[in-house]
Each structure stands twice: as structure tokens, then as C-alpha cells.
Structure 1
């Protein structure tokens, strides 16, 4: 099968590297090296899916360079630039009770501790100090940014009702 079930974005392909078909990749996984725990990958570019097998990889500056099986020259590697790196949700480890992945929080409703509706989670941003929820508020058309600091600002994440309560 050349298309993942329940696709999840875990990285992005950068420019080609050298003349032997290596490419730069950017990992979106929490621990950057964990991207290699989820092989094979699917590349998605211009509405096309390609199943990818990694032959070799190396750390390169703050990211990685990868040699793809069957890609042996720079021109073939250049065709992969800007592809999304996708996996099937089933490739992720199973979670324990009351655990969740960041992508699971998208579309959760957010309320403050007084019960006032703030909006829906539309994205998360990773920062050096803490992650940030981006909440879309329909009534005032502005996005609200809330630091994801568990127990201090994020009071409760209800997985069953898809609700986040914040201070």
C-alpha cells in the first residue's frame, strides 16, 4: 500500500545534499532522532504519495541527512524537496490511560475554570520553554495563545469529552 492510514505529519524534506542522492530532513518529533523509529515513511508532495525506505542517515547540524533506497543521484533527490514526511497513526506507540499526543488536541474545546468558552484548539507551537496552544475564537475572530503548562495553566484535559480547562 502506498498511502498511510490515518496520516500524521512527522517531518519535512529539505534540499538535496551532495551528489549521491542524500537529502536533508527536518524532524517534528519531540526527540528529533525518534523520527527514525517510525519507518517506513510516506512522502507527500503535489498530491502524490511515495512510500520511502531509509538506507542510511546521519546527524547533520541540528537536523539529519538521509539516503533513500533507490535514490542514488542529486537530481532524483531534488524531486523530493519540500515533501511532507508522513506516517500511519498505527506506527505510533500505544499510550497509557489519560495520555495523548499533541495532534489529538486539535479541535478540542477550551474553557476557562469559570466555564467560559474560549474557542477550539487549531494548532500547537513548540518553543524552547513550553508549548503553546493556539485557540481560534469565533466571536472576536482573534486567536488566543495559551502556554501549555500542565497543572498551572492547563488544569484538565478531558480526552473523552475533548475539552481542555485552563486557568
Structure 2
């Protein structure tokens, strides 16, 4: 299952295997996709575990409670399934669906520089460390900048997020530097 010599730099993390489920090789999955079952549209996964990246195929998956359970092809016992617990799940970036103009995947925003044009002044807040979901809206977690502060900026395009320029690597926001 291990792919050696392949370039895994063009992968997007889409979830994580949390634990084994049942006795027939199924695992529980925490999906980062929205909606969560979109992760099932990718039958070929890359799993990052202690041995590095490995390729596997998913031959079944379904909702279970508030989450998902998945069967990895060729894994037919609980003991075999436990080797994948706590592994990140990634897919090849080129397989991600094309978004509408003005829509972005989180991985596209992470790492971008964030600047604020607040009351006529320009402030460099640093870079998007990661994104998080709060229920009401997504949030940019921004770290660095001149004052070395961490800022939580609601990802609300048109309200706080004024412009996203992927080519320049900059997100322009309207955010008070005191927050």
C-alpha cells in the first residue's frame, strides 16, 4: 500500500480516521469536508501515519450517528483497522471539485498574509495559521504581524473580509487592530 517515490506535496487533508469500528475492518472518520459525507466521493485516499503516506481505496462508507464509518478495501478485521487510527486523510488537490468564483477552500486561505485597512490606516496582522468552524461562521486564525498577536477574524466576505487575492497571497480585511 505504501507509495514510494511519489510526490505528496499536492495533497489536501480532508479528514482523519479516529478509531476502529466493529470487528470487520471498518473505521470511524472525522471529515473536514462540508457536508461531511463529501469525503466519500473520493475513493482513493492517502493516509499519513507513522510510516509516512500510504495509498488506500475505500470500498464502502455511510453515516453512523453524527459521523461516518468507512471500510478500507482489503482490511477485514478490527486488528488490521487499528493500524489506521489517528491517520490524516488526504486527497490529490486536482481531484477537488472546482468552486464558483468567490468561493475558496480553507487550504487556499491558510498561509495568506492578512492586512487591514481600518480607518484609513494599513495594518499587517500576519498570516492565516488555520481556519476554524464556530457554528455561526468560519473564522480566520491569524498569527504574526508586527505586534505578534493572534487574532480571530470572522470569515464574512463583504463585511469583514473585503478582498482575497490568491495570486498576491493577501487577504484584505476591515478589522480593528485593537481586537
What TM-score do you get using the length of structure 1 for normalisation?
A: 0.92
Q: CA-atom RMSD, angstroms?
A: 1.7
User: For residue 37 of structure 1, what is the aligned residue in structure 2?
Assistant: 41
Cα distance in structure 1, aligned partners of 2:141 and 2:56: 32
Q: Which moved more, 1:21-30 or 1:97-106?
A: 97-106
Q: Which deviations, in whole Å up to 9, do the C-alpha atoms of 1:96-131 show, x marking residues without a partner? A: 444432111122111112322111111111121100
**Could you list the runs of 4 or more consecutive aligned residues of structure 1 that deviate by over 3 angstroms after TM superposition?**
95-99
Q: Which moved more, 1:73-82 or 1:115-124?
A: 115-124
Q: Structure 1: 5+ residue runs without aligned partners?
A: none
Q: Cα offset for 1:5? A: 5.2
What is the aligned counterpart of 1:163 among 149, 162, 170? 170
User: For residue 89 of structure 1, what is the aligned residue in structure 2?
Assistant: 93
Does the alignment pair 1:23 with 2:27? yes
SS in 2 for 1:149: coil
Q: Which deviations, in whole Å up to 9, do the C-alpha atoms of 1:8-65 show, x marking residues without a partner? A: 1000001111111111011000210100112210111014222111121121111111
Q: Which deviations, in whole Å up to 9, do the C-alpha atoms of 1:56-99 show, x marking residues without a partner? A: 11211111111111000110001110011011111112344444
- Cα gap change, 1:100 to 1:119, in 2 (>3 Å): same
Cα distance in structure 2, aligned partners of 1:108 and 1:50: 29
Native 8 Å contact 2:60 2:70 kept in 1: yes
Native 8 Å contact 2:124 2:146 kept in 1: no
What TM-score do you get using the length of structure 2 for normalisation?
A: 0.86
User: For residue 140 of structure 1, what is the aligned residue in structure 2?
Assistant: 147
Cα distance in structure 1, aligned partners of 2:52 and 2:68: 24
Does the alignment pair 1:124 with 2:131? yes
Q: Structure 2: 5+ residue runs without aligned partners?
A: 175-179
User: For residue 10 of structure 2, what is the aligned residue in structure 1?
Assistant: 6
Cα distance in structure 1, aligned partners of 2:54 and 2:127: 33
User: For residue 61 of structure 2, what is the aligned residue in structure 1?
Assistant: 57
